[in-house]
Amino acid sequence: MGYLPSVLIPKPRGALSDVLFEAMRTSTPSWDDVLDTEPDHDDDAQIALWALYELHYRGFEDVDDDLEWQPELLQVRRALEQPFEARLRDRFDVPDVTSPFADAFFDYVAGHDGRSLAAFVQRDADADQVRELLSVRTIYHLKESDPSAWLVPRLAVAPQAALMELQYDEYGAGDPNRLHAHLFARGLEACGLRSEYGAYIDDVPSEVLEQNNAMSLFGLHRRLRGAALGHLAAFEATSSLPSRRMTQGLDRLGFPAEMIGYYDEHVEADAVHEQLAVRVVCGTLLDAEPTLVDDVFFGAFTCLDLEDRFAGAMLEAWAA
């Protein structure tokens, strides 16, 4: 066991992840085989990218920590990131922003609101569906805010101070028992679900991998800081109301208070965070670096689009 609770590398989902994960586990890897292998479908590419990013977060029990900066792995990561970013950008149309930024941003988010899992949980979901949803949400909620933490040293003074104000809350304002990822872990345990990071990785659909990979892509590349903060702002701006719906659905189904408490925390916190993230973090970012405006909207679009696609996949699977 490492210094943080971590899991084994996931199950491969195709040709690339098969040779890649084998090479990451062994002490005598054949990097040439890895570099010669293409992903044979998108799910294969996404799980490979997720595992490569994870080396920069908590790592894996069965992978040497030193591989975080292995040149061949960075080469594979780059080969996966380039088509992934291109595909995300292809889905996005740059909006014509005429009103002041914050007004335009809130209008944009309202205009791109997609299918809602929280609304389904509030009214219709059964307990098994909610447990399934909570287990796939672990891939983000158990490292909530970590992808935004990469941004801190990359910003001008005003957006840096504002981002830290927001992050201070997300990380518990000095109290480990208020740290959001930890609140979610305690909620999972109260539900009888596993709380170690990555425990459900083999069960999550490709859409969840894409959501998490997009956040890591934006967070780990300084040139994408605008997209990272636009993503954060859209995330916060679409959290408070869905969190209230989640509390009502969990309450309707008799879920434990600890899990309801996690969402309850976000009803009020994110009503504040959305203002902070849009008006102050992104607003002052664009005062300092106005050319990033298109990327701020690109990040916001990606957040909303990926959540809509994830919600669609879950709702369709449940309707089948």
Residues binding Fe ion (CB under 5 A) = 170, 180, 270, 273
Largest CA distance in the chain: 58
Three-state SS for 60?
strand
Q: What is the chain's alpha carbon radius of gyration, rounded to the nearest angstrom?
A: 19
Asked if residue 16 lies in contact with residue 37, where contact means CB atoms within 8 angstroms, the answer is yes
CB of 234 to Fe ion, least distance (A): 12
Find the Cα–Cα–Cα–Cα dihedral 118, 124, 127, 128, rounded to 10°.
Answer: -90
- What backbone torsions phi and psi does residue 308 show, to the nearest 5 degrees? -65, -45
Within 10 A of 254 (CB to CB), how many other CB atoms are there? 7
CB of 246 to Fe ion, least distance (A): 13
> Residue 40 or 165: which CB sits closer to Fe ion?
165
> Residue 245 or 273: which CB sits closer to Fe ion?
273
> Residue 77 or 273: which CB sits closer to Fe ion?
273
List, in sequence order, every residue forming a beta bridge with 7; answer none if it has no partner.
Answer: 60
> Residue 13 or 266: which CB sits closer to Fe ion?
266
DSSP 8-state assignment for residue 279: I
Nearest to 200 by CA among 65, 7, 48: 7
CB of 266 to Fe ion, least distance (A): 6
- What backbone torsions phi and psi does residue 255 show, to the nearest 5 degrees? -70, 155
Distance between CA 157 and CA 164 in Å, rounded? Answer: 11
Asked if residue 21 lies in contact with residue 47, where contact means CB atoms within 8 angstroms, the answer is no
CB of 238 to Fe ion, least distance (A): 11
> Residue 49 or 188: which CB sits closer to Fe ion?
188
CB of 1 to Fe ion, least distance (A): 27
Angle between helices 257-275 and 180-190 (to 10 degrees): 160
> Residue 12 or 159: which CB sits closer to Fe ion?
159
> Residue 170 or 305: which CB sits closer to Fe ion?
170
- Is 241 exposed, middle or buried (CB count within 10 Å of its CB: 0-12, 13-18, 19+)? middle
> Residue 170 or 295: which CB sits closer to Fe ion?
170
CB of 15 to Fe ion, least distance (A): 37
CB of 165 to Fe ion, least distance (A): 11
CB of 270 to Fe ion, least distance (A): 4
